[in-house]
Amino acid sequence: MLPSEAALPRHQLVRIRPAAWTALLASRPELGGEPLLGGWAERGWPLIVRRALPDEPQAGLPLGLPLPPSAGKRRIAVQVRHGDIASVAPLPSLADAMASAPPDWQACLRELIAVGARHDVQPRVFGSLAWQHLTGLTYLSPSSDLDLIWPLPRRDRIGALLEELAQVEARAPMRLDGELVRADGAGVNWRELHAGIPELALKTAADVVLCSIDEFAGEPA
């Protein structure tokens, strides 16, 4: 799917036309020492939609990618024109990405997929597991978190979903991180929601603002 000129939601994966990527790297000499970047677009590896930095000029769609630990874990921030985009896709589902996870994660991942099915939401992965799955490079380490995006369920199911996530994490071999995310891409950390914090940090494509649970998820039914 190709995007319109409108801003894309956070966490969308964007693949760049190889010629445009080559031109972008040529315009950024400070990136020339990163050997993985040269063939990034040719391999079909994506970038991810991010928020613009506070002092960043609005010169295009803000995208980013993290290099793997073997390359220093450097975070690369770029902007591209919509015409340079080859395709846009959602994050990989947890079900698709779990084959790239360590063996001792597998039982927990199956449990999380079952939690999603019970609440009619499909978890998607970002962070280290997503990038390892998307590129085949080694991003995961023994201290890695599992970063998940959960589509916002019906208001009457939010509490039960959060409680199940907390129960799974209590016996998980890794820390569970991530957000519940609305259809417009705005999200709130699941731990803040579960803790009942009155003022939640709502992350949008442009900013981070404080909001209540009702402002984030709608008035209770």
Domain ranges of the chain: 13-89, 94-217
Would you state the pLDDT for residue 141? 95
Q: How far apart are CA 55 and CA 58, in angstroms?
A: 9
For the chain, 221 residues long, the average pLDDT of each consecutive 10-residue run is 61 96 95 92 96 81 95 94 95 98 98 97 97 98 97 95 98 97 93 94 90 87 51
Selecting among 145, 177, 184, 214, the annotated active-site residue is 145
Would you state the pLDDT for residue 33? 85
Would you state the pLDDT for residue 128? 97
Would you state the pLDDT for residue 207? 86
Would you state the pLDDT for residue 1? 43
Spatial CB neighbours of 43, under 8 Å, sequence gap ≥ 6: 135
Would you state the pLDDT for residue 6? 55
Find tokens 């009457």 and name the residue.
156
Q: pTM, whole model, 2 decimals? A: 0.92
**Residues pairing with 208 in the sheet:** 203
Q: Is there a catalytic annotation at residue 145? A: yes
Q: Is there a catalytic annotation at residue 147? A: yes
Selecting among 96, 147, 156, 214, the annotated active-site residue is 147
* pLDDT tens-place string over residues 168-216: 999 999 999 999 999 888 999 999 999 999 999 999 888 899 999 999 9
Calculate what percentage of the chain has a pLDDT beyond 90. Answer: 85
